[in-house]
Amino acid sequence: MDKKFKFNWGAGTILLGFVLLFFILAGRFFYIAYGKQVQDVDLKAYAEHKWTRHKVLEATRGTIFDRNGNPIAEDIPSYTVIAVLDPKDPAHIKDPARAASQLAGVLAADESEIEKSLSKKGRYQVQLPGGRKISNKDKEKIEKMDIQGIDFIPETKRYYPNDNFASHVIGYTNEDNKNNISGVLGLEKTLDKYLKESNGSLTFKSDTKGIELPNPQEQMKKPKDGANVYLTLDEKIQTLLEQAMTKADDKYHPQAMIGIVADPKTGKILAMSDRPSFNPNKREIKDFTNTAISYPYEPGSTMKIFTLAAAIQEKVYNGNETYKSGQYKIPHNRPISDHNKVGWGTITFDEGVENSSNVLFSKLAREKLGYDRFYSYLKKFGLDRPTGIDLPNEKAGKILYNYEIEKLTTAFGQGTTVTPIQQIQGATAIANGGKMMRPFVINKVVDPSTKKTLLSHQPEVAGTPISEETAKQERNILEKVVTKGTGKPFQIKGYSVAGKTGTAQIVDKETGRYASGSGQNVFSFMGMAPKDDPKLLMYVGVIRPQLEAGQLGSAPVSDIFTSVMKNGLQYMEVEPDGTDKEQKEKDSSVMLSSFIGSNHEAVSKALEKAKMRPVVLGSGATIEAQLPEAKSNVLPGERVLLKTSGNVQMPDVTGWSKADVLKLAKMLNLKISVKGTGFANSQSLQKGMRLKANDDLAVTFAEPSMDDVDLSQNKKPKKEDRP
């Protein structure tokens, strides 16, 4: 008997389910295989993303150099501190409290803040607070702590090696939250399009561990470093100015100060500083104004330089002509008085200039020149408009010339306002045979890769307001101001100085009247030296210094001027032109020969005989490189670096100048980090340590007192030689 077939509904349901699932999966497989999409995810793109690695190739912001190639603003190596927290990693932070206690002494953060960061859960690693872009010196301090789990990410940071140094001229940079650096003040801002770098990138295929695949398909975008900027500033003259102004600031505590040193033959600004200033590495800024170019004020008697020049040029000035000093009465106005109120009786015009007589200069403007002709010379000297200097935010003063009293006071520097840089430009005509030179600070901008000059500024004649003969005659008269008149404190032993003092009143903002009392003035001096062929032109202004009873306002001004001018002329090897010529430095500069291939012992003896200071680097006998290079002029006492073959050991650089340390780094291809100004007093690589290329060398510098520095020999005197 046949059995009757029975359908198993349970097994059928399961079978049907498997069949449906098979067709769903098969359909999905073909959809993915041909469509390459999973829930709107492009699988090919996803795989590319998983296999592809991206690496940033960092570029460097352009360096700002002085005229001799010394860095003023540069990118230097720095390090960001990170900590590994993941317990699965053998090298992780095990004791957050202890590590925080150690690190708090170095990082710019509180111990509790660091410990909180080190105690975060579920993080593989963290960047420590206060650990962003620390110096090489701080990195070494942390390394000596030997804290397991601490590591460093190499980076760069913007660094200003001279600290407080032409700060309003150079400016500084800021970094946004995307690590983009931009200039925000001074030349860092206005030249940002040239200085700005462009990072590159490297893209390649790798496995999950980051190891390149056999066919990595590398794509590279090269990084582009920013262009380098070369200024007209001279590091040594700028340092002289900074030191002198700091010394005066500490002694007299003025409201503000301005100092400008220029080459009158070219208009190049060799130094420019003001107070209050700031350290761009710290950015504790009280005033963002570059007073030298953006702060017009009544100049006082330095304005008489231009009134005198106009009178000489128009042949209406006779130095032997006499007049009655004291007061000058004009119709319908109060009389003009000399600064001592009573004058000096009947004196010559030359004596009037020597004593800075307001009466004389009023007579020159009103009776000799006439107001229209005098005004035309104010315009010829550029006192009615900005100079066009290549610095941001220049402002011009205002010539008050509506009423007769304003025309008279303008002749001796009251009422009308000008800026220090306007006065410097005008005074170049006196120092430069009648040719007025436009001031400038930027020499050139150069692409570091192509060496192409992207921007270049050349000396430019801004006008010829007077003749060469007029300029010569005025310098002779202004020399007598210094030797016989109000400028006596500005005499420099061995050098003839031509110049004019200034004492200007300041309007009280609350009362609208001139402030009264001791020191409530702008004290200034415009001077040039040597008188017959000026190599340096300098303006110094000191606003409201705190003077002791009986102390003259010229004291802080002359302290700055005489120190900077004398040392600056000696540094430039300008021979004394006065009665002290026999006291000039007997040793002259020497042009170096090529020492390549010579025995270092013989060369060292020859250099020592010429009063040079040879430094041999290497254990070999034959010289392979030298700095300064052949045909360079060097002064007695200057270091000459001689590199030989063999192992090179680190020398003791204590007492070395920054220029010498930078020469050492250049010759040995070291990564240099410098801090401070003056002379070296500590180094990260100890004496005798064997050196190799790309070693990190950090050197700190300290400033000796100004009297300790012999700039003519570029060396630091021994302690026993100091006064």
The residue type found at 12 is: G
Q: 99: which 2 tokens?
A: 């590590």
Provide the angle, in degrees to the nearest 10, between the axes of the packed helices 468-484 and 420-431. Answer: 110
Instruction: Name which of 266, 284, 265, 267 is nearest 276 in CA terms.
Output: 284
> Whole-angstrom Cα distance, residue 30 to residue 25?
9
DSSP string, 396-455: ------SSHHHHHHHHTTSSS-B-HHHHHHHHHHHHTTTPEEPPB-EEEEE-TTT--EEE
What's the Rg (C-alpha) of the chain?
35
Judged by phi (left if over 0) then psi (alpha if -120 to 50, else beta), residue 539 lies in beta
Q: Which tokens is 460 given?
A: 């430019």
Between strands 150-159 and 322-324, the pairing is unpaired
3-state SS assignment for residue 194 = helix
Sort 19 into a burial class: Cβ within 10 Å, 0-12 / 13-18 / 19+. exposed
* CA atoms in the 13 A half-sphere facing the CB of 342: 1
Please say whether the beta carbons of 186 and 392 come within 8 A: yes
What pairing do the DSSP bridges indicate for beta strands 228-231 and 64-65?
A: parallel
Give bridge partners of residue 55 from the DSSP assignment.
202
The tokens for 166 are 């032409």
Would you state the structure tokens that stand for residue 69, as one six-digit string?
């190639």
Nearest to 636 by CA among 585, 602, 676, 680: 585
Q: Which of 627, 491, 636 is nearest to 558 (CA)?
A: 491
DSSP, res 128: P
Active-site amino acid positions: 301
Query: Nearest 5°: phi and psi at 668?
Result: -100, 5
Strand partners, 649: 690
Tokens 């006071």 belong to 409
Cα 410 from chain centroid? Answer: 35
Residue 501 and residue 556 in contact, taking contact as beta carbons nearer than 8 Å: no
Burial group, residue 723, by CB count within 10 angstroms (0-12, 13-18, 19+)? exposed
DSSP-based three-state secondary structure for 622: strand
Query: Which residues have a Cβ under 8 Å from the Cβ of 495 and sit 6 or more positions away?
Result: 529, 530, 565, 566, 569, 574, 576, 577, 578
- DSSP assignment letter at 560: H
Q: Is the peptide bond before 534 cis (omega within 30 degrees of 0)?
A: no
